[in-house]
Structure 1
Amino acid sequence: MRKTTIESFFKRKERDDEETLSNTPISNLDTNVDDVAEVDEQQPPPPKALRTEQETIESGTLIRDPGKRLQIWNYPINQQDDIRRAYVKFGPYQFLMDLYPLSGLEDHPRRFQAHWFRMFSWLEYSPEKDAAYCFPCFLFSKKPSPFTSAGFRNWKKVNNGKDCAFLSHMGKNINSVHNAALRCLEDFKNQSCHIDKVLNKQTSQQILSNRLRLKVSIDVVKWLTFQACAFRGRDESLWSTNRGNFLEMIKLLASYNNEVDQVVLENAPQNAKYTSPTIQKEILNVFARRVQNEIREEIGDAKFCLIIDEARDESKREQMAIVIRFVDKNGFVKERFLDLVHVKDTTSSTLKQEIYIFTAAIDYQLKELNSRFSEQSTELLMLSVALDPKDAFKSFNACDICSLAKKFYSSDFSDQEMIHMEYELQHYEFDVPKDPKFHNLSTLGELCQKLVEVGKSNVYPLIDRLIRLVLTLPVSTATTERAFSAMKIIKTSLRNKMEDGFLTDYMIVYIEKEIARRFTTDMIIDDFYFMKQRRAQLKK
């Protein structure tokens, strides 16, 4: 009789083979300028072993550019819905440019048009490939196509009436591949229609109880983060006299409110207590992502400057703080803490590489990252004085202001705008310094705010733009130093095993609590519910 061993029930995974497969592109695609790129439809899907392998994929590391991102079927099958959910939250990648690259025939080249985004909400554009893609098909189509893998570049066929390539892709049949993917996307967004939710339909009262239970956890996470307190305790068992700040705070709230007491801790269902360390981290992550999105909205299309500094945390790990400086629409100079990135070392090449990775991840392609702090810095500061409103614009000098724009901001002004600025400065000199509203100003920041306040930023748009560019330059790294001071408060000798992701989220919410306070509990619940499939219903 053959001897049965434990090895006969399990097959060892070949790690090297899997890693090779995961790094192998789906196909070698050659993109033709005039025609839709051909797609290798014979490419087999990833092997089952790869699709079922457990991995942790952070939404912040996902590539947005449709020409560079992985296809959904390249991810482990048990994580594909989480990946879809993250991309749905991002929305279609509609990269805006003043002018897109020309392509096609030399005698009649054409380019992508930004107004197509308004006509086709599903449309995406890849600056890497200069090609168009379909967002729903990327998420739910099961086969490669020009609008998911290779990209569409034949712009001539777009403005072609009824034969428009985009309309042809959508199809007249309601069962076309595109329309089927669009229906899948709508169903995917509506979690209450998912089969497990239909089979386990919960009453309105149960949903209210679930939301109340989660609200308590959210409020506790927010309060502990704002106060830089630890979440967990050494012993969180039922018999412990001190179960940690998070659980003890929930107990305190329950003791003051009978309605809360009936739905939390021991009175909560076992599969939806909302008190585990994982849930705590997810709630904090929702806050942090919302803060970052709010900062991006605050920046808008303004120019910005990244302020970078590094320091070691309590566990001797090198951390790089990223602070963003910009002038908002009201003329106020803002410095916001945006991220904390762990780096292997602090050499200039490493920091530069991390900045490139960071800017790709946050999806902002503005071109203010070039070096501007060379030996010319002194001249830049001297020329900037010509804009200073101190002592009734005593230092005002139109020639120096023009030199400032030409030498240091030539890429931000066209040749025509440079000429126009000279005439604008002549009117500005006889208007603003003599206006009583501009008397008693002492800083360039106050001047920028006053121009917006009285509406003269629209009268002198080029001067307003130049002032904002000058204000964007950092005068110190004090904000990054304050970020490291906050890191020392949060990551102490007693909390030195804190994970990088959790530390980053904690610092973002703690430092930018002014922004985090704007978010209602219901906003956080909606984001939390959409992060991944939840066992308990939080919405009808």
Structure 2
Amino acid sequence: MDKYLIKKPRTQDSSPVQDSSPSSKRSRVDFNLENLPSDPGLLQKISSYHPNNHDEIRRHYLGKGPCRPPHDYPVSYFSGKPRRFRVEWYETRNWLEYSIAKDAAFCFYCYLFGKDVGKQGGGDTFVTKGFRLWNQVGKLDSHVGGVNSAHNQAVKKSEDLQKEKQHIQSVLVKQSNQDKAEYRIQLNAIVDCVRFLLFRGLAFRGHDESQGSSDTGNFLELLQFLGDLNESINEVMQNTWKNCKLTHHDIQKDMVNAIAHETSKAIIEDLGNGFFSILVDESRDISVKEQMTLVLRYVNKQGIIIKRFLGIVHVASITALSLKCAIEGLLCKHNLSLSRLRGQGYDGASNMQGDINGLKTLILKENKLVFYVHCFAHQLQLTLVAVAKNHINIADFFYVVSNLVTVIGGSCKKRDALRDAQLAKIKEDLENGVRRSGQGLNQETNLKHPGHTRWGSYYGTILNLILMFSAVADVLEIIEEDGLSDQKHCKKKNQDIVNAMDLVKVSKQRLQVIRNDEWTSLLTEVSSFCATHDIPILNMDEIFVVSGRPQRNTQQNTNLHHYRVELFYTVIDMQLQELNNRFSEVNTDLLICMACLNPSNSFVAFDKEKLIHLAKFYPYDFPGTDILALDSQLQNFIFDMRNNDLFLELQGVSKLAKKLVSTRKHETYPLVYLLVKLALTFPVAIATVERSFSAMKYIKNELRNRMGDQWVNDCLVVALIMRLSCNDFKK
């Protein structure tokens, strides 16, 4: 990214910094009107001055007019013939001026009002380089061009600027204090309406916005509602000229764009020059356009983890290279560099996590410190999904479960029948003393389709099926008897590093314990379930019969061997192997080291050697001298923490960061705090990205499926920052 950006050095004060690059749009040139050069060959571009001074400089030059100094014009030779600038050319060209320094002709108006790279005849020749082809006088006339040429547009702008009475500043100055106050009331009311509609994800426009219509849309109706409640707003809106009501949908878009711009600017300022990670996902919108969402994760100056939606980009292709280009473009737009990136998190799709040409690999080639970790909630969930796909018996089982859920939930009538059957079963169990009654017990449950990327959905579906087995069986009998059967059918919240690694560790340990010690208890539980629901129980010592295949082609194994070895042991081994594959050695090592920062139980997980090893993962942030200093800081840090009552009850690395900042300990132990920030910046879940797609479905829906990309992006930037800020405030 640095090859596209020219980073400004950061200073302690907030004053603007000069950029040495003449092409930088941020560079500013100090000036004094009396010292401005007259020779057009020595002039700085208008864009190099501060925007607030542009008109003042233009008026200064317009007052002086084109530079036409008396001069003995030098001779140049073209094809052996002498040629030079001629004074007669001034007579029919009021825009022409001459530079003694460069012996070249320039356009007076194009310099003042033309673009940095003009589209008029000759490009920027008449603005920066100068025209010297004295043998081709016809090109002077071709520069002027047609009525709507860039040159004539610049002339028109110069005429408009000289009309002082029509200037916006003059109009504002002439307004009375009452007019200004009324305009402010009107503007505040409209901005409040825009903010409310953005926060709720509601549409702005109506079917018929004409006066007296009953369907003017949410914006106009809300504005009218505010007027009905506030007499001052109503009076201002009634007396405002029709061409100044600020209710046109183009003005609404401009307001939302301005709010989105200021919102993004505030996010970038809050980030400052700190490290950040990116959370990326892609999905189709209602108009079948691939949209890529990018969220920043960083630690602010108060030591708080911040997740902010940066933008949504329409991508024509979802290849890794296309996504990388889109990410670079969005970061470049906000003056962010990949050099400050320290983490990347995706949903685990092949185009994201591929080791050869995946998105993570392409970014790692430019920055070796952008460590990748897959969303933990997705990671553990997809482990089960991968096993379900790779083991034929498990795949068949989930296929049957999916079909069963589809049949039961296929219509409102079937769902009602399931609720009634479950209610009858609960009443029967309560009467027989099988169930206990009390607050929170015996709540209504239902069957839901398991989803690959919804944390715990497979587990929840199976649990509900077990709890409602009798009711499901009754409903299936009703469906069969009534002929209702359709012939076509038979995320957890964001976690921190410590909790995520504990979850992985516990999952592996639990699977191993189940494999070694819990077969007997599982068999007993299954037998009890079968007995309760009148399901025949197999004799484990009999030969297992493979349905659908001749017995002579199968290996003769007992039921016990089949269910214990071929299913139970095999599936658990596949899950353990899948977990090990999804968590690479580098990522696991990295995360285990980060877990040593956990302050719980008086920093019982603290390990100085592992934390020094963690710092070595970031050689650019911790050069050799800092590693030595970190060793000393860690020793002092752990002694200080364990003897400070303010840090004894902390839970989680995020709480540690906030406490370090509030007590100013982050200044005492800057290298330790840098480790804490890197650990918190590391992405472990992409819930914020998925939340942005949920918001997109409200903003761009079937009724508003023609929304432009910029309009969608602006709405999402404002809507999500409002919602995330509310969540941060609640926390």
Q: TM-score range by the shorter chain?
A: 0.5 to 0.7
User: Which residue number in structure 2 is paired with residue 373 of structure 1?
Assistant: 372
* Matching residue within 202, 212, 220 for 1:247: 220
The DSSP-based 3-state class of the residue aligned with 2:323 is helix
Change (3 A) 1:334 1:117: closer
Identify the structure with the greater helix proportion.
2
The DSSP-based 3-state class of the residue aligned with 2:283 is strand
In the alignment, residue 222 of structure 1 is paired with which amino acid?
A: R
1:387 is aligned to 2:359: no
1:214 is aligned to 2:153: no
1:472 is aligned to 2:471: no
Maintained 8 Å contact 2:280/2:689: yes
User: Which residue number in structure 2 is paired with residue 287 of structure 1?
Assistant: 259
Change (3 A) 1:146 1:390: farther
User: Which residue number in structure 2 is paired with residue 224 of structure 1?
Assistant: 197
The DSSP-based 3-state class of the residue aligned with 2:167 is helix
Change (3 A) 1:504 1:421: same
User: Which residue number in structure 2 is paired with residue 527 of structure 1?
Assistant: none
Matching of residues 22-421 of structure 1 within 5 Å:
95-96=8-9, 123-126=18-21, 134-135=28-29, 148=45, 195-197=166-168, 200=171, 201-264=174-237, 267-365=239-337, 367-369=339-341, 370=367, 371-373=370-372, 375=584, 376-406=586-616, 408-421=617-630
In the alignment, residue 20 of structure 2 is paired with which amino acid?
A: Y
Change (3 A) 1:362 1:416: same
Across the aligned residues of Structure 1 and Structure 2, the Cα RMSD in angstroms comes to 3.9
Change (3 A) 1:404 1:176: farther
Change (3 A) 1:198 1:304: closer
Change (3 A) 1:404 1:146: farther
Change (3 A) 1:420 1:298: same
How many Å apart are 1:147 and its aligned residue? 5.9
Distance in 2 between the 1:243 and 1:466 partners? 55
User: Which residue number in structure 1 is paired with residue 643 of structure 2?
Assistant: 434
Distance in 1 between the 2:310 and 2:61 partners? 42
Distance in 2 between the 1:176 and 1:241 partners? 55
The DSSP-based 3-state class of the residue aligned with 1:241 is coil
Maintained 8 Å contact 1:398/1:425: yes
Maintained 8 Å contact 1:326/1:334: yes
Q: Deviations over 1:455-477 (max 9, x none)?
A: 22111111011110111000011
Maintained 8 Å contact 2:8/2:17: no
Q: Deviations over 1:168-207 (max 9, x none)?
A: xxxxxxx899xx9xxx99xxxx9x9774346643332222
Distance in 2 between the 1:511 and 1:117 partners? 29
Distance in 2 between the 1:446 and 1:468 partners? 12
Maintained 8 Å contact 1:389/1:443: yes
The more displaced of 192-201 and 384-393 is 192-201
Q: Deviations over 1:84-105 (max 9, x none)?
A: xxxxxxxxx98116xxxxxxxx
Q: Deviations over 1:285-305 (max 9, x none)?
A: 121112111111211222111
Change (3 A) 1:209 1:327: same
Distance in 1 between the 2:665 and 2:20 partners? 37
In the alignment, residue 333 of structure 1 is paired with which amino acid?
A: I
In the alignment, residue 223 of structure 1 is paired with which amino acid?
A: F
Maintained 8 Å contact 1:331/1:449: yes
Change (3 A) 1:194 1:509: farther
* Matching residue within 488, 492, 497 for 2:701: 492
1:482 is aligned to 2:453: no
Distance in 2 between the 1:115 and 1:143 partners? 38
Maintained 8 Å contact 1:126/1:132: no
Greater Cα radius of gyration, structure 1 or 2: 2
Change (3 A) 1:331 1:345: same
1:504 is aligned to 2:713: yes
Distance in 2 between the 1:365 and 1:146 partners? 33
Distance in 2 between the 1:144 and 1:68 partners? 29
How many Å apart are 1:238 and its aligned residue? 1.9
Distance in 1 between the 2:670 and 2:187 partners? 48
Change (3 A) 1:133 1:508: closer
Distance in 1 between the 2:302 and 2:166 partners? 49
Distance in 2 between the 1:458 and 1:488 partners? 44
The DSSP-based 3-state class of the residue aligned with 2:242 is coil
Maintained 8 Å contact 1:291/1:515: no
User: Which residue number in structure 1 is paired with residue 386 of structure 2?
Assistant: none
Maintained 8 Å contact 2:206/2:216: yes
The more displaced of 363-372 and 465-474 is 363-372
How many Å apart are 1:506 and its aligned residue? 0.9
5+ residue gaps, structure 1: 1-64, 70-92, 98-113, 152-174, 518-540
Q: Deviations over 1:246-265 (max 9, x none)?
A: 1112222222333322332x
How many Å apart are 1:223 and its aligned residue? 1.3
In the alignment, residue 597 of structure 2 is paired with which amino acid?
A: L
TM-score (norm 2): 0.47
Q: Deviations over 1:435-493 (max 9, x none)?
A: 22211222111111121222221111110111101110000111101111111121111
How many Å apart are 1:398 and its aligned residue? 0.9
TM-score (norm 1): 0.62
Change (3 A) 1:453 1:203: closer
Distance in 1 between the 2:645 and 2:637 partners? 14
5+ residue gaps, structure 2: 49-59, 66-111, 114-160, 342-366, 374-583, 727-731
Distance in 2 between the 1:255 and 1:320 partners? 42
Q: Deviations over 1:57-107 (max 9, x none)?
A: xxxxxxxx9x989xxxxxxxxxxxxxxxxxxxxxxx98116xxxxxxxxxx
How many Å apart are 1:433 and its aligned residue? 2.4
